[in-house]
A and B are shown apart, each in its own frame.
Chain A
Amino acid sequence: MRHRRLMICADPRWLQAIALSLLLSACSGREETGPPVLNWYVFDEKSGAFRDAVRQCTARADGRYRIRITPLPADADQQREQLVRRLAVRDRDIDIVGMDVIWTAEFAQAGWILPWREAQAAEAIMGMLPAAVKSAVYQGRLWAVPFTTNAQLLWYRKDKVDRPATWDELIDAAEAFDVPGALQVQGQRYEGLTVFFISLLASAGGAVLDHDDTEVSLEPVPTRRALELLKRIGNSPAADPALSTAREDQSRLAFETGKPVFMVNYSYVWPSARQNAPAVAGQMGWMRWPAVVEGLPGRVTIGGINLGIGAYTRHAGMAFEAARCLASEPNQINAAQKGGLPPTIEALYRTPEVRARFPMADTLLATLQDAMQRPRTPFYYDLSLAISHTLHPLKDIDPDADAVRLREAVGRALKSEGLF
């Protein structure tokens, strides 16, 4: 950076203005009058459903508090980076945190969020999907109230292919088309690749960590099976030429061009296709993930947002109340209708409002009821980096060697050692 200084014209008046505005902004902020403001840190939801929830809950508080959204970036990694930096220095302004399901163990263990008292917890999670609740539980306590959820489905072209029963059938069917990119999956080196691997592994009957999420599991047979499948997909003529940089959105856009026949993706692709490519949407089918080994149904990991309470908040009592209100039934219905975010309250999947927005509600619900958790360890980020860095790019996977490398990398991740 040294040379850049040469380029700046240091006009003192200009510098003074900056210094003054910095000082002023540092002083302001604390001088608001009226009821206390609860800051809700959550990703910037574009449809306005979260803002509706804020208005509704502020009205319900009847002047005791106001809720204010502080928007975070769209990318989950960047959301976490910003939150962690604030929480690690005990930011008292974080009252409610919109947490990705994979942060629960880390934030809880670090003491960055408050646990829910038992009576409160029991009420808050009433009627909610067990898998969504489990994603907010760590070491026997509830750390957040589930607000929205999500899981991947298999999307296919009803006019071109039949519903495959297994992943092998799926790949065969995609290859029969002789179109590069006929099969759309996520192969970039990021969380999505970790999700893909963990889901395949779970469908093969394995898991990354043992049942209490403390030791490496990665049983040899299912691990090998999952790695072989990834390798086959990576080298398949049906794979996208840009597989190694493909994320969910690239898959969605590719599918909307009409060439692909299969896609692994979340439910947001449906309204998008209806808007951007009605012809494709008309032929779009959905189903649960096919089996990896015959006899075991395909299973995928659960995603979504839970609402936790910042550990350093000045208004803990009100924050718990506000979080419950934000995640309550009317707001979940609105988030589903307006924002396309699947609810965590199980009964809502049978209401006409939600079914109108999610025609795939039954398939989604069945997937969610059987969904599994990503490893619930405070070192999840280390572990996820270890997995995606070891397995990228898919086409270079060597099942024997990589099973060993993976076990070794995950072991180091659990101790937070070494580089990935």
Chain B
Amino acid sequence: MKARGNAERRLAWLLCAPAVTAMLLVTAYPILYAFWLSLFRYDLRFPQHRQFVGLDNYVSVLSSEIWWKSVVNTLIITAGSVAVELVLGMLLALLMFRATLGRRTIRTVILIPYGMITVVSALAWKFAFDPTTGFVNALLNLDNAWLTERWSAFFVIIFTEIWKTTPFMALLLLAGLTLIPRDLISAARVDGASAWQRFVHVTLPLMKPTIMVALLFRTLDAFRIFDTVYVQTRGAGNTETVSLVGYNVLIARLNLGLGSAVSVLIFIGVLIIALLFLKGFGTPLTRQQGE
């Protein structure tokens, strides 16, 4: 029995090997190369002046006020968008789950925003909130220049993110909903549990792993937000995110060393978020249906 298990395991590894190798080539190599570059003073304009500087680039970034401001901004956008998306996504998932009439139509319609290119949706909402071309001010009877002030700009950015990615959240949660055994819900109903009680005490606990995965994916994605901010404010008015800081150094200033240091720090940020999720929720991700 044991020997067979081992053989199966070996076969599994063998079957995975090509994929693992490909992943290592396309992800590990660039990550390691970025780390290597981040140890140099290296400007694309003057490659001949490349010089090893150790951790100087990291010191320079971590001691910069701009970096920490952008970290705070990124966290504001991440927390704001993911929290609302979770609630809205859950509502939409329940709607899609319960719908008896036109189920496919509802699912398709809900997914439309997610199918749109981020730059397009960012531009569309930028124009919508614009005081001269937009409809939002007219609708709300306001006279706001939304993208000129920090908090209203955050509002527009977060709103755009929510509009665009809530469908993704809803889709993941819907997958979780369909996994819940119907008999558990029926049993609770027989025992006299109200709809709210059934949701809180049966549905939610069973969906915990799914919610966790959905939150993790969305948080990691939101932390690297670039397109929406680039299109709507370009980081002006203290709305700069970490990806935008990296872009400015790497692409506009062509400073490969410093820019790679920023990229590596963003990567570390993503790792920290993933670890916090795994520890904090204490849900064994890999054993969702195994036990």
List the interface of chain A (C-beta within 8 A of B).
Answer: 1-3, 7, 77, 81, 84, 88, 106, 109-110, 188-190, 241-245, 253-254, 378, 381-382, 385, 392-393, 416-420
A308 vs B227: C-alpha distance when bound (angstroms): 32
Q: Is the CB of B248 within 8 A of A190?
A: no
Residue of B60, B221, B236, B253 near A245 (CB, 8 A) is B236
A241 vs B130: C-alpha distance when bound (angstroms): 12
Q: Is the CB of A418 within 8 A of B64?
A: yes
Residue of B43, B221, B258 near A3 (CB, 8 A) is B221
Residue of B64, B143, B168, B237 near A419 (CB, 8 A) is B64
A416 vs B254: C-alpha distance when bound (angstroms): 9
Complex interface: chain A residues within 8 A of B143 (CB): 241
Complex interface: chain B residues within 8 A of A385 (CB): 248, 252-253
Contacts A/B (CB < 8 Å), 20 sampled: A2-B220, A3-B221, A77-B252, A109-B45, A110-B46, A188-B236, A189-B234, A189-B237, A241-B148, A243-B148, A244-B236, A245-B148, A245-B236, A378-B45, A382-B253, A393-B148, A416-B43, A416-B253, A417-B60, A420-B66
* Given contact pairs A419-B61, A419-B64, A189 touches B45 in the complex (Cβ within 8 A): no
List the interface of chain B (C-beta within 8 A of A).
Answer: 43-46, 60-61, 64, 66-67, 114, 131-132, 143, 145, 147-148, 168, 172, 217, 220-221, 233-237, 245, 248-249, 251-255, 258, 262
A292 vs B147: C-alpha distance when bound (angstroms): 31
Residue of A2, A84, A106, A241 near B217 (CB, 8 A) is A2
A244 vs B221: C-alpha distance when bound (angstroms): 29
Complex interface: chain A residues within 8 A of B131 (CB): 241-242
Q: Is the CB of B253 within 8 A of A3?
A: no
Tell which of B43, B148, B234 has the most Cβ of chain A within 10 Å.
B148
Q: Is the CB of B251 within 8 A of A245?
A: no
Tell which of A2, A393, A416, A420 has the most Cβ of chain B within 10 Å.
A416
Cβ-closest chain B residue relative to A389: B66
Residue of A110, A242, A416, A417 near B148 (CB, 8 A) is A242
Complex interface: chain A residues within 8 A of B168 (CB): 3
A110-B45, A392-B237 given; 13 more Cβ-contact pairs under 8 Å? A3-B168, A7-B114, A189-B235, A189-B237, A245-B233, A254-B132, A378-B45, A381-B252, A385-B253, A392-B236, A418-B258, A419-B64, A420-B248
Q: Is the CB of A109 within 8 A of B252?
A: no
* Given contact pairs A253-B132, A382-B253, A419-B245, A393 touches B46 in the complex (Cβ within 8 A): no
Cβ-closest chain A residue relative to B153: A245
A1 vs B168: C-alpha distance when bound (angstroms): 12
Complex interface: chain A residues within 8 A of B252 (CB): 77, 81, 381, 385
Complex interface: chain A residues within 8 A of B66 (CB): 419-420
* Given contact pairs A245-B236, A392-B236, A419 touches B148 in the complex (Cβ within 8 A): no
Q: Is the CB of A244 within 8 A of B237?
A: yes
Q: Is the CB of B148 within 8 A of A106?
A: no
A253 vs B133: C-alpha distance when bound (angstroms): 11
A392 vs B237: C-alpha distance when bound (angstroms): 7
Complex interface: chain A residues within 8 A of B43 (CB): 416
Tell which of B131, B220, B237, B245 has the most Cβ of chain A within 10 Å.
B237
Q: Is the CB of B64 within 8 A of A242?
A: no
Q: Is the CB of B60 within 8 A of A418?
A: yes
For the complex formed, measure the closest distance between the CB of B18 and the CB atoms of chain A, giving whole angstroms: 16
Complex interface: chain B residues within 8 A of A419 (CB): 60-61, 64, 66-67, 245, 248-249, 258, 262
